[in-house]
A and B are shown apart, each in its own frame.
Chain A
């Protein structure tokens, strides 16, 4: 655009229009940091897994970067892409990867989720390992057709001639305190209905890294939903080297004998705190299970615990109706009917969209879960 040397007719406004905020560098580049409220949960870090070598303090987004770094360095076909991925991603999960591996392997795509999914599937069908990012899980729906009709069914429809097992789609999910309708959702239930996909939700940096690498190497298309509130809030000593954690295996994160509480992602931390509250205030012993993998899910671990305690609470942020808790509850009543001392209780988001300012009343917070513990034990 042509530049001019004419003196400004007036200068006052020109200066005024220069937003001062632009000139001082703010330390943020993530959606989560603008949070005003105290978080609704307390993060419970785990000790590092044994036999996985030296560790480093990492938060959840850094542990994901580390996983992608390992995939990029150990597998020359690995590609990492999505909207704004090149500069490090809006949540900083891909920082420095482009600089390290070049922009033919780590790159921005045009702003189009259906394109990202289709492109990713195609690259996986052609034999490349793909880690594609959907900027928010709330924006994955334009890609629903590609994921549900294509990725999930590739192997089945071709008798294994073609498949996209090398595909992993990662996406930030979950409530953050102020996300409203479109920066809060976890669409696990929508995708759980599509046979052929694996769906994984980590609760911690250690898990995130080991599970993401497991997804990347698993021979099935995987959806990896990352609770974005944990990106910075969750820190652990994470092994710097290569390791994987098993898919399809739930984890008992607290042993107990009166009540079983099942969740995944951030909700596991809510449930852990509730277990402490139940112990301290009610003298009730709660077992807490992190489901980890939504599909295919670990029925055996869940039913074993349900049979032991006879009282079960399933909890997730997503809405109650048609939520994955319904699937778990129905399996439990079928498999453990005679062991149950109370109906399986579901503590979930209400059947509304995620509200912005009313979020504290919507979420299955520790007080609603605590009340459920009382309900199942007093039944």
Chain B
């Protein structure tokens, strides 16, 4: 993925979309018109039938996407954390900045511990968020905590920010009795009603049209709130992504579509996922206001999400944000990414454009509100807390086998009552062949 130009002081209403709007209207005014009809009535006809004014050209010209037209990337600080345009620094309070940094470190620490736990066979599966910490925390911090989140699976930082506890993370990964879903899902499929974070589902992009619908409903019942929908650049290829954009746009739903473009979908590089200028370029096709941002710049993510939220709510329309970042970790614990990408590539991103380091440089050099000593203390404290939660989660029992039948419906229908009884009778006869000791009683 070659990340292109950067803009540092964009009026956040994305450069691209406002340009699009200008030419759209401009063309209608300046185009050489087909003489005999009255422009007025023709435009009205156009508005009515195709949803916009029509203009004509008399030379045969196809539109060719041009590299120069690539949407630039909004960035607030550089890879050394140096502010590029003072007007763009949101000047967040030290408290908020520390909280953001703390969340990033906590997420990173949890990933390290859980990744090794999986390698040791203590949990069945895990997915790290390495390299994408800024896009999680920057966007989450810009939202109202009542805004509803529809995630993909690599957005644990959003939960960290909202206050999902380490115990809650670990209990889900360990599929123990404290997991609200009774260990029914694989690890990392978190959800929290209290934190307005809809439970993760593995089939990709399914959350996207749901987010549009939820935004539509929220607009009616909870004006002033919006929905944020996270998705990968790979998931954006699904038909559901198209449906989501088109529905949100045509039905004026206040939904923030936040694409984490991290360069890969498992082994498939982004350039095999689409031709054209990435995900952001699709925005205008749907009539959506759009911006592309540096996903490793937590302040750029924060500014963009904050403004996008305001637009979505005030103007009642969806906004598309494409955050350019890099998936530093393997896709999951089932993957070995050295089979399809160069180690140098990973190293370049890890050391050259590390979202945590960049933020830290900003805190130290631009804000003078952080230092090495505090950094070490924070790292140690995070590690301690994570290990504590981890040990506790590991000790807890697994859920009762009877819970296999709950939550299929609101109540157990007769077939499930019967089947549960069959299971109970069976376990009565064959108990020694099942890992019943690990579980709560049947």
Binding site for B on A (CB under 8 A): 1-4, 6, 8-10, 12-14, 16-19, 21-23, 25-31, 33-36, 83-84, 86-88, 90, 108, 110-115, 138-139, 141-142, 177-183, 320-321, 350-353, 355-358, 360-362, 367-368, 371
Once the chains bind, are A180 and B356 in contact (CB under 8 Å)?
no
Interface residues of B in 121-148 (CB under 8 A from A): 121, 124-125, 128, 130
Give the chain A neighbours of B408 by CB distance below 8 A: 351-353
Asked if A90 and B235 make an inter-chain contact with CB atoms under 8 angstroms apart, the answer reads no
The complex places the Cα of A141 from the Cα of B206 at a distance, in Å, of: 11
Which A residues are CB-close (under 8 A) to B128? 19
> Given known contacts A28-B334, A355-B184, is B346 in contact with A22 (CB within 8 Å)?
yes
| CB contact under 8 A between A111 and B204, given known A4-B79, A358-B401 | yes
B38 CB–A CB distance under 8 Å: no
Cβ-closest 7 pairs across A and B = A357-B183, A182-B202, A357-B175, A110-B237, A178-B124, A111-B234, A180-B186
A350 and B80 CA atoms in complex are apart in Å by 56
Given contacts A10-B364, A112-B238, A321-B415, contact A19 B430 (CB under 8 A): no
| Cβ contact within 8 Å between B202 and A138 | yes
A108 and B268: CB pair below 8 A? yes
Counting chain B residues whose Cβ lies within 8 A of the other chain, the interface size class is 35 or more
CB of B284 within 8 A of chain A?
no
User: Which of B86-94, B108-116, B154-162 lies at the binding interface?
Assistant: B108-116
Contact yes or no, A84 B343, CB < 8 A: no
Give the interface segment out of B20-28, B285-293, B312-320, B372-380.
Answer: B372-380
Q: Is B193 an interface residue (CB 8 A)?
A: no
A355 CB contact (under 8 Å) in B183, B204, B335 = B183
Contacts of A19 in B (CB 8 A): 111-112, 115, 128, 130, 328-329
Q: Closest approach, in angstroms, between the C-beta of A31 and any C-beta of chain B? A: 5
A1, A29, A31, A350: the one contacting B339 at CB < 8 Å is A29
Q: Does B98 contact A (CB under 8 A)?
A: no
Q: Does any Cβ of A come within 8 Å of B435's Cβ? A: yes
Chain A residues within an 8 Å CB radius of B111: 19
Residue in A closest to B239 when the chains form the complex, CB atoms: A114
Residue from A21, A26, A36, A86 within 8 A of B124 (CB atoms): A36
Whole-angstrom CA separation of A27 from B334 in the bound complex: 10
Residues in A whose Cβ lies below 8 Å from that of B240 = 142
**How far, in whole Å, are A26 and B332 apart by their CA atoms in the complex?**
12
Interface string of B231-248 (1 = CB under 8 A from A): 000110111100000000
Question: At the interface, yes or no: B441 with Cβ under 8 Å from chain A?
Answer: no
Interface 1/0 per residue, B349-363 and A, CB below 8 Å: 011111011001100
- Most B C-beta atoms less than 10 A away, residue of A14, A21, A138: A21
Closest partner residue, chain A, to B438 (CB atom):
A357
For A15, the closest partner residue in chain B by CB is B351
Q: Which residues of A contact B419 (CB under 8 A)?
A: 320, 350-351
C-alpha gap A138/B203 in the complex (Å): 8
B423 located at the interface, meaning its Cβ lies under 8 Å from any Cβ of chain A in the complex: yes
| Most chain B beta-carbon neighbours within 10 Å: one of A23, A27, A110 | A110
* 0/1 string, B408-442, CB within 8 A of A gives 1: 10000001100100010011011001110000000
Cβ of B119 under 8 Å from chain A: yes
In the complex, chain B residues whose CB is within 8 Å of the CB of A142: 203, 238-240
Known contacts A182-B201, A357-B399, A358-B399, A108 near B339 by CB under 8 Å: no
On whether the beta carbons of B364 and A22 are closer than 8 Å, the reply is: no
Query: Known contacts A13-B354, A19-B329; can you find 12 more A-B pairs with CB under 8 A?
Result: A1-B352, A2-B78, A3-B352, A9-B81, A17-B108, A19-B128, A21-B116, A108-B272, A110-B268, A352-B408, A358-B398, A361-B423
